[in-house]
């Protein structure tokens, strides 16, 4: 019985790297050739954006802070082109500063290829001196379909909406197939 325990201790020691002079048992890993590098597009202005609010619903107001959802429709023109719909969730402070997260679904064309893109946006913003709403944030492609299924990328986003006007913005970043 004692000899069996010694053998088990030696095997365990080999597996965890202790015992027998700290000999470590290594298991060779198979060689995997890396994926060929993707063609990258340098960071640049990818689209000009026009956004129109469709609906807003206040979910809750607590101590002056408001949570709401908002739906939008819009249009990208530029490297990424197409019409989109968007759904966002916002938290708005009493002073008008807000944070939001949302998703845009765009039937888009990029570099002559067509498909649908789903992008996630994280925004912060507030009201400017002239009553304009200013937003800034980041975006990332979550998923693509059709000829855009391999498209990846992300970057930054800025927009401004003056009272009575459509929101106008710029989308910058890097994309690659």
69-113 pLDDT, tens digit each: 999 999 999 999 999 999 999 999 999 999 999 999 999 999 999
Q: Which tens digit of pLDDT belongs to each residue from 159-176? A: 999 999 999 999 999 999
| Residue pair 156/138 in contact by the 8 Å Cβ criterion | yes
| Confidence bin at 12 (pLDDT 50/70/90) | very low
Specify the DSSP class assigned to residue 146.
G
Q: What's the CATH class of domain 44-176? A: mainly beta
Place of tokens 């913003």: 125
Q: Say how many Å lie between the first and final Cα of the chain, rounded.
A: 63
- CA dist., res. 46 & res. 156, Å (int): 10
Torsion region of 4: left, alpha or beta (phi above 0 gives left; psi -120 to 50 gives alpha): alpha
Give the span between the Cα atoms of 15 and 10, in whole angstroms. Answer: 9
Centre a 10 Å sphere on the Cβ of residue 155 and count the other Cβ atoms it contains. Answer: 17
Structure tokens at 135: 């937003």
* Per-residue pLDDT tens digits for 125-151: 999 989 999 999 999 999 999 999 999
**Average pLDDT estimate for 35-64:** 82
Whole-model pTM: value is 0.74
Distances (CA, A) of 6 to 10, 11, 12, 13, 173: 6, 9, 10, 10, 61
What is the residue extent of each domain of the chain? 1-28, 44-176
Q: DSSP readout, 36-90? A: PPPPBPPSEEEEEEEEEEEEEEEEEEETTEEEEEEEEEEEEEESEEEEEEEEEEE
Phi, psi of 92, deg, nearest 5: -120, 125
């Amino acid at each position: 019985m004692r000899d069996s325990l010694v053998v088990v201790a030696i095997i365990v020691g080999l597996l965890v790297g202790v015992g027998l002079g700290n000999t470590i048992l290594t298991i060779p890993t198979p060689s995997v050739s890396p994926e060929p590098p993707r063609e990258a597009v340098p960071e640049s202005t990818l689209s000009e954006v026009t956004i129109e609010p469709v609906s807003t619903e206040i979910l809750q107001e607590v101590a002056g802070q408001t949570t709401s959802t908002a739906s939008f429709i819009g249009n990208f023109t530029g490297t990424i082109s197409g019409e989109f719909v968007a759904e966002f969730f916002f938290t708005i402070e009493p002073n008008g500063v807000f944070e939001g997260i949302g998703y845009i679904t765009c039937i888009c064309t990029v570099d002559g290829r067509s498909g649908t893109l789903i992008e996630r946006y994280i925004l912060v913003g507030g009201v400017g001196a002239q009553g304009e709403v200013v937003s800034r944030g980041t975006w990332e492609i979550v998923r693509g379909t059709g000829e855009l299924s391999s498209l990846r990328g992300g970057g930054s986003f800025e927009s401004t909406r003056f009272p009575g006007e459509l929101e106008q913005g710029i989308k910058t970043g890097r994309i690659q197939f």
